[in-house]
Structure formats: structure tokens, C-alpha cells
Amino acid sequence: MKKYGLLIILFIIGIVIIVLNKEQHNYIKVGKLYINEIVASNKNTYETSDGEYHDYIEIYNDYGSDINLEGYSLTDNLADSRKWIFPNIIIKSHDYLLILASGINHCDDKELCQANFKLNKDGEMVTLIDNTGNIISRVTYPKLNSDMSYSYIKGNYEITNPTPNKENVLSTNNNTNKGDLKLEITEYMTHNKSISYLSNGKFYDWIEIHNLSSDVSLANISLSDDSNNLNKYMLPDVIIKKDEYKVIYLTGGEKVDDYLCANFKLSDNDKEIILSFNNKILDKVNIVKLNDNMSYGKDKDKWYYYYLPTPGNINNTSKVEVIDSGDS
């Protein structure tokens, strides 16, 4: 019995060692050709020439010479190390290469290569193998929110904002605690016909947010009109200063110069606007029915109807608590 008890103890110790080893070594990096970035839920980050959004794996070549990847392979299943095999393709020295994880298995001269498997946003292992069968880069990424990446930065992998074909940078508030953020929704429009047009001459509905805390980056902050998809629009890594108001234009994905342009629009069927940070709600407001060119805004913790909206500024114009449905 003592013998069996000892074997059981040794077995448990072995399991613990394996688990700890796995947790401490969630990636392998041999040499200077490696998986540099993984985006497993690409909603708005990288758009193909045909308007599609596929997840992607980015490879970086840090060697001083170009490398022909023909015969190399990528896989998300170690039992199938040759799951997707690279064609005759060159990755230049100190350059990036995106492989779209579309499940399509297609390569041509006009578009990026598309692997024959897709990525799991809840996390999995991705492995890069050379043409002799050696593992040269392996990354086990965790669950990723929409339009967030698992990126190699200064010797470690971090969850941050994606930077396809560019150097990875840790988001300014990647480690910011929700309690340090004091952002609020302060005004919005749902029927903008002639108020605050953009440089392209078009009028868009908009949402205004206000920063009550110190200067902070908007990285990892999201806006949405759907409680089941808080990360509908991920704001870029730009600074909102203390007591500053920023306006997000609801263009439905149309990009206009340097304006903040969300990938959705508000409709009469929408019920709420949600501001969140890493899936944690910072502020939420109910959408009320508005007449043309009227906004709904906050003043001293109370909401009013504004006949003269003030996008990007304090709400200090004429306001009323109730409107007649016939007002215009």
C-alpha cells in the first residue's frame, strides 16, 4: 500500500510540474523568425481588398537577410504539424508577413495568403514549423476580445491593440484598473440632419464622451449599442485629456480623415449606448426618441433635451426636460 501511495504522490507531483511548466512557458521562440502578433477576433482591425475581416497571424523576420518560407508550416493542432504549408513566398529582412486565418487556403499575387484553418477567440496554441520539421515559434494565446491582439513586445507576449505590419506597442492603459477610469457618456444625437458635419460634407449621428479623470488613452475602451457585443467599436490609442470631451461619429465604418468614426449607426430600435473597458461597463445610457437636429445631453447628473447640441463641448445651451412629440 505504501508503494502505491508513493506512486500516487509522484504522479501528482508530475502533473503539477507539467501544469506549472505550461503556465510559465506559454511560448517558444527559437531564432529571429517568429510569430509576432495574433488577432483571433478581427472585426475592424484589418480589412482585405474585398472588404472581408479575417483573423490573422503575423510573422516577423528579424534576421539580416530575406527568407523563403516555402515548405514551412503553420498549425493550431500539433497532431497535424503540416496543417497549412507555405507556398514559395519571401519574407524580407526586418519585415512582417500576415497570414489570414480564414479557413479558405488560398494564395495569389494580389492578396495575402489565407490559411486553411481559423483561430479560436477563446484561446489556443499556434505553431510555426520550418521546412525540416523543427518548431521555431509556438504561442499559446489566451481568450482575446474583439480587435485585441496577443503581441510580442520586449521579450514577452502581451494583450494589446493590434498593429498589423507595424512594430508592436503596449497600449498606454493596458494595465489600467477600471477604477482609475472616469469616463462618461454626456451627449448623443440620433437624427443629425444639419448639425456638425464632417470634412466630407456629410452629417452623422454622434456620441460624446467626457473624461473626469487625469489624461488617459482610449485604448481598450469600447462603444456599443448592443449589450451582447460590448466591443462593437474599439476606440484607438489616442489620449483624452482631463475634462476633455471627445465626439465619436457613427459612420457605420466609413473613415473620415482623423475623426473618431465608429463602425455602427444608431436606429430607432436601439435601446442603449454602452461605454466599456475590457468588457467592464463604465457607463450606460438609455436611448430616448429624438426629433431632427436635437440631442440628449447630461448636465450635473441629469439628462435634458437640447435644441442646440454642443458636440465636443460642455452642455450649456438651452435645454428642456420634456418635449412635445410634435416639436421639431
For position 78, which CATH number holds? 2.60.40.1260
| Co-location of 316 and 182 in the same domain | yes
Give the whole-angstrom CA distance, residue 233 versus residue 49.
21
Q: What does the mean pLDDT of the chain come to?
A: 87
Q: Summarize the confidence of residues 198-209 as an average pLDDT.
A: 95
Number of domains in the chain: 2
What is the amino acid identity at position 247?
Answer: V
12 inside domain? no
Q: Which amino acid is at 83?
A: K
In the chain, % of residues over pLDDT 90? 64
199 in a domain, yes or no? yes
Tell me, what's the pLDDT at 169? Answer: 83
Residues whose CB falls within 8 Å of the CB of residue 38, separated by 6 or more in sequence, listed in order: 55, 56, 57, 58, 119, 126, 139, 141, 144, 149, 150, 151
- Both 156 and 186 in a single domain? no
So what's the pLDDT on residue 195? 87
pLDDT digits (tens, 9 = 90+) for 67-97: 999 999 999 998 999 999 999 999 999 999 9
H or E segment and range at residue 150:
strand 149-153
Residue 249 has pLDDT above 80, yes or no: yes
The model's pLDDT over 183-199, given as tens digits with 9 standing for 90+, comes to: 999 999 999 999 878 99
Indicate if 135 and 254 belong to the same structural domain.
no
314 and 203 both lie in a single domain: yes
Contacts 24+ apart (CB under 8 A), 49-52: 49/110, 49/111, 50/111, 52/102
Task: With respect to residue 208, please indicate whether it lies within any of the assigned structural domains.
Answer: yes
208/145 same-domain check = no
**CATH number, position 308:** 2.60.40
Give mean pLDDT, residues 124-153.
93
- Domain limits at 200? 178-320
Q: With contact defined as beta carbons under 8 Å apart, do 230 and 272 qualify?
A: no
